[in-house]
């Protein structure tokens, strides 16, 4: 089977080696179980999800053109944003890895 001159497998010169995890070969300060930034990744995802959903809801309510909708959007933003921040901060604190803290 002929290959196209632009499409061919890369030539690395050796086979890639992916070692099996061996805890005895770790240095005393190396820890591959911790999350590098110290923030649980589920909290990062939930922050992005709820922020986008809240922004879309507030924008839709504000752009609906009704005065009541605009007032409700502002009130919702004033209440929901601090609540979202406090709830996700508490969740991050509960789920933060205290055994393997970030540097």
In terms of pLDDT, which residue wins out, 69 or 33?
A: 69
pTM of the entire predicted model = 0.58
At residue 103, does pLDDT exceed 60? Answer: no
pLDDT at 44: 85
Contacts of 91 (CB under 8 A, 6+ apart): 40, 43, 46
Q: List, for residues 41-95, the tens digit of each pLDDT value.
A: 888 888 899 999 999 999 999 898 889 999 999 999 999 999 999 998 898 888 8
pLDDT at 58: 93
Q: List, for residues 13-23, the tens digit of each pLDDT value.
A: 666 565 666 77
Question: Do the Cβ atoms of 62 and 73 come closer than 8 Å?
Answer: yes
């Amino acid at each position: 089977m002929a290959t196209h001159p632009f499409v061919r497998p890369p030539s690395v010169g050796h086979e890639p080696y992916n070692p099996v995890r061996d805890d005895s070969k770790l240095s005393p300060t190396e820890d591959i179980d911790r999350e590098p930034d110290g923030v649980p990744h589920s909290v990062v995802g939930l922050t992005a999800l709820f922020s986008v959903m809240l922004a879309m809801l507030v924008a839709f309510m504000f752009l609906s053109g009704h005065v009541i909708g605009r007032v409700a959007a502002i009130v919702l933003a004033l209440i929901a944003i601090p609540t979202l921040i406090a709830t996700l901060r508490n969740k991050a604190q509960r789920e933060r890895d205290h055994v393997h803290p970030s540097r």
